[in-house]
Each structure stands twice: as C-alpha cells, then as structure tokens.
Amino acid sequence: MKILVADDDAVSRTLIVEILKSAHAGYDTLLAEDGSKAWTTLESNPDVKAAIVDLSMPGMTGLDWIDRVKADQRFAHLPIIVCTASTDRATVASVGARGISNFLAKPFSRTTVLEKVWQVCRPASTGLPVVRDLSAARQRYEIDRDTHRELLGYFVRAADMWATDARRSTEYARVRALSIRANNLKQMLSSLGAAAVAARFQEAEDILGVYRVKPAITEVPECLRKAHQLGEKIQQDIDRLREVLDTLA
C-alpha cells in the first residue's frame, strides 16, 4: 500500500517512514520535500492510497497542493492527513473547508501516526456473509461436514474467549497479546470459511497492532477503550456464526 509523505523537514519524513515500517503492514512510502515534488510523485503513482502532507512547505505549500489534488478528478478522493505544528483555529478552519478532518499534530507519536493512517486506509464495510466458500474449505483440509462443523465450533469458542478478554482488559500487556491472538484467529477462521468474523479479527489486528510497541502512559486508557469496543463488536459476529453452525451445508 503506497503512502505519500510530503514534508520539507527531513527529520519528520524519516520519522514517519520508520514508524510506518515498524507496523509491518506493507506500507510503501514515497517521499517528497515540497509540494511540487509531491505532485509529480502522485502523478507518477496514481495508485497511492493516502498522503501525509505538511502545510508549511516552500514553493507549493501543503494547502496549494491539496487544492490542486481536490481539483483533479483522478485524485479528488485521495485520503489526506495534514501534518502540522499549527493547530490554531484559522488553520483548522482552512483545512476543514477543503473537506479534510485528519490532523497529525507535531510533535507526533508512533501510535498517533499509525492510527491516522489506519483510519483513512481501512477498507469500507464489505457486508461479508457469516460464512462463505464452505466446500472449498472442506476440500482444502480434506474433511467432511461434521468435522468442519467441529473445527469451526472450536474456533468459535476461541473467538468467544478473545472477545471476553478484550472486554475485560485492564492492562496494556493483555492488549498486546490480543493483537497477536487476533492474527491467528483471523487466519484460521478465514480458511474455514467464517468470513464475517475473520474480517472483524483483521480489523482488531489493524487497530490493536498499533500497541505492539508499548504506548505512553497517557495512551493506555485509549488503548484499553478500543479493546473493549472491539470485544463488543466481535461478540455480535461470533453470536451470528454460532447460530449457523448447525445448519452448515
């Protein structure tokens, strides 16, 4: 996934790149030190998924660049994160008037960068069915319907435990473990055909993966709040999956 990073400050550019690399989420960063080069880079890479843009760049400023992007039908819907040390009312209003609400205030933290990028890059709701491609899953594992149901039942129970632990999380270490467990559950549930719950665990992995590196003490309450919310959301999909276990065809 290509992310354009435009900032005339080399330290900020390098820091953002290192943060995105540390997420191990497949982010491919494209760098530019001013608005003109950012525009050239975007035209050469129309598959860019998001841009992090500093406002106070020389020549073509961040606002000038945003105006040019918004005026071009090819890029008008490109998700943009404004990176700036100026968060006064006038700046916020000027950016907001251009339809942008994502701010990355300097100095920024690793957690904030990854959260902002995830927010603008996460896939829209796909409306996935509770289960799909069940026959393909059975062929993959060379199992019959009863064994398939039994395996899904086992992972439904494991997912249920995950949701319970998420709702009851009271410390950072448990949230970090939840992120790792979410990856394992996602893979197995997806391979067995539990599409909706697998997608939920992908979402959980994306959100909680930010916290695999220990956050600042002030960020821990938000970390726990997100875990609690994910536990509630995933529980609903688990309950739906449990209801169809006995009707698998």
Same domain, 89 and 184: no
Distance (Å, whole) CA 189 – CA 199:
9
Q: Are residues 98 and 138 in the same domain?
A: no
Whole-number Å distance between alpha carbons of 70 and 27: 23
Q: How many CB atoms lie within 10 A of CB 14?
A: 13
Residue 28 is inside which H or E element, if any? strand 28-32
Task: Please confirm whether the linkage preceding 46 is cis (ω < 30° from 0).
Answer: no
Q: Examine the domain organization and report whether 153 and 198 are in the same domain.
A: yes
Residues facing 104 on adjacent strands: 83
Residue 27 lies in a domain: yes
Yes or no: say if 227 and 175 are a contact pair by the CB < 8 Å rule: yes
Shared-domain flag, residues 6 and 116: yes
pLDDT at 247: 61
Q: Are 167 and 188 in the same domain?
A: yes
- Res 127 pLDDT > 70: no
Domain shared by 160 and 78, yes or no: no
145, 215: one domain: yes
CATH label of the domain that carries residue 105: 3.40.50.2300
Which residues are paired to 103 by β-bridges? 82
* Residue 126 covered by a domain: no
Whether residue 129 is contained in a domain is answered as no
Q: Do 186 and 226 share a domain, yes or no? A: yes
User: Final residue of a domain: which of 121, 154, 186?
Assistant: 121
Sort residue 63 into left (φ over 0), alpha (ψ -120 to 50) or beta.
alpha
Domain residues for the domain of 44 are: 2-121
Stronger pLDDT, 76 or 216, i.e. the higher one: 76
What pTM did the predictor assign?
Answer: 0.58
Per residue in 18-39, pLDDT (tens digit) is 998 887 767 899 999 999 999 9
Residues 113 and 194 in one domain: no
Q: How many helices (H) and strands (E) does the chain have?
A: 10, 5
Average predicted confidence (pLDDT) for the chain: 87
Does 23 reside within a domain? yes
Check whether residue 170 and residue 70 sit in a common domain.
no
Main-chain phi, psi angles of 24, to 5 degrees: 50, 40
As a whole number of angstroms, the distance between CA 1 and CA 8 comes to 23
| C-beta of residue 30 within 8 angstroms of C-beta of residue 13 | no
From the CB of residue 69, how many other CB atoms can be counted at a distance below 10 Å?
A: 21
Shared domain for 213 and 143, answered yes or no, is yes
Residues 6+ apart with CB under 8 A from 121: 1, 3, 49, 50, 79
Q: Which residue has the tokens 């709701």?
A: 125
Predicted pLDDT at 149: 87
- Domain-embedded: residue 92: yes
The last residue of a domain, from among 72, 98, 121: 121
Residue 195 has pLDDT above 80, yes or no: yes
As a whole number, mean pLDDT of residues 62-69 equals 93
- 51 has a pLDDT exceeding 80: yes
pLDDT at position 3: 95
Read off the pLDDT band of 122 (50, 70, 90). low
Which residue would you say has higher pLDDT here, 126 or 173?
173
Look at residue 119 and tell me whether its pLDDT is greater than 80. no
Q: How many domains does the chain have?
A: 2
The DSSP secondary structure of 153-204, one letter per residue, reads: HHHHHHHHHHHHHHHT--SHHHHHHHHHHHHHHHHHHHHTT-HHHHHHHHHH
Q: Would you say residue 2 has pLDDT above 80?
A: yes
Query: Which pLDDT does position 26 carry in this prediction?
Result: 76
Q: Do 7 and 109 fall within a single domain?
A: yes
- Helix, strand or coil, per DSSP, at residue 2: strand
Work out the average pLDDT over 66-90: 89
- 86-100, 123-137, 201-215: which has the minimum mean pLDDT? 123-137
Which DSSP category does 46 fall into? T
> Is 159 part of a structural domain of the chain?
yes
State yes or no: pLDDT of 125 exceeds 90.
no
CA distance 20 to 216: 18
